[in-house]
Amino acid sequence: MKQNHTFSSKTGTVLIVSGPSGSGKSTLCKMLTERNPNLRFSVSCTTRKPRPGELNGKDYWFVSEKEFKKKLKNDEFLEYAEVHGCHYGTLRRELEDCVEKGRDALLDIDVAGARQVRRRILETPLRAAAVWIFIAPPSPELMEQRLRRRATEEEEAVVRRLDHAERETPRSLSVDYGDIHRGDLSEH
């Protein structure tokens, strides 16, 4: 891994929020960025198609398979994965830029991606800036309702996400704060 950055004493923090699909992590992250204009959302790359209302450069960088592979070859990702048939990746430069400028960054990521980030940043200056947070769904039933309410995926994908969620717990990933989400964020 390339190490060409050192951070000043006035560095930002990287909040790494992970949890299973439907746990409410994206809703929580949206609320945090709305309430704190100095918190910068880390925009990930994906090869999946935008969902209704999603904007390129705001929600994700929507890229082709070819573009994604080029970024991968150039070691531009802090983490990357294929999730439910689509590729996702966190651009390392986005987080480094924030931290270097003393700004706080927010990374909304699945559990497998969070594990990869942890491994890759251990030997980088980003390690000291990272705070790890796990968001658990209030209940399996509510998580299933959320996934179905999205109405963006086939039944097979919903079932696969529910199966994955059973194995994704705060104990499965070393976190600073875990299992902190209780209640339905849509009520707040």
**pLDDT tier, 185 (very low <50, low <70, confident <90, very high otherwise):** very low
Q: With 90 as the cut, is the pLDDT of residue 178 above it?
A: no
Predicted confidence (pLDDT) per residue in 76-94, tens digit: 999 998 877 899 999 999 8
Q: State the average pLDDT over residues 59-75.
A: 95
Highest mean pLDDT among 16-30, 98-112, 173-187: 98-112
As to burial, measured by CB atoms within 10 angstroms (0-12 exposed, 13-18 middle, 19+ buried), residue 145 is middle
pLDDT of residue 135: 82
Instruction: Retrieve residue 129's tokens.
Output: 């800036």
**pLDDT tier, 115 (very low <50, low <70, confident <90, very high otherwise):** confident
pLDDT of residue 37: 83
Give the fold, CATH level 3, of 14-187: Rossmann fold (3.40.50)
| Global pTM value | 0.69
Q: With 90 as the cut, is the pLDDT of residue 114 above it?
A: no
77-83 sheet: strands from edge to edge? 60-62, 44-46, 86-91, 77-83
